[in-house]
């Protein structure tokens, strides 16, 4: 379970970073012409850092992920 959550968070981070950045390309498609691609890339930086911090927290404290399945047994 822990590995699956780690992979999921890591994949979500990859959707916000180039070269794959699918979410960035979708946002570029719906954003007004006054918003540049550079502004979109700069705007996503705090969210990427939050996700990376979340990955480190889950790495060092895996019981955050595994406590619910243990409580259900």
| The residue count for the chain | 73
What pLDDT is attached to residue 33? 92
What pLDDT is attached to residue 52? 94
Cβ–Cβ under 8 Å, residues 7 and 53? no
Q: What is the pLDDT of residues 9-60, one digit of tens each?
A: 999 888 888 777 888 888 889 999 999 988 988 999 999 999 999 999 999 9
Residue 33 CA to its chain's centroid (Å): 26
What pLDDT is attached to residue 46? 94
List the structure tokens of 65: 């992920």
What pLDDT is attached to residue 16? 84
pTM above 0.75, yes or no: yes
């Amino acid at each position: 379970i822990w590995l699956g959550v780690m992979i999921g968070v890591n994949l979500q981070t990859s959707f916000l970073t180039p070269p794959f950045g699918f979410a960035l390309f979708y946002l570029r498609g719906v954003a007004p012409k006054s918003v540049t691609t550079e502004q979109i890339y700069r705007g996503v930086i705090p969210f990427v850092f939050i996700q990376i911090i979340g990955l480190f927290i889950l790495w060092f404290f895996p019981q955050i992920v595994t406590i619910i399945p243990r409580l259900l047994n």
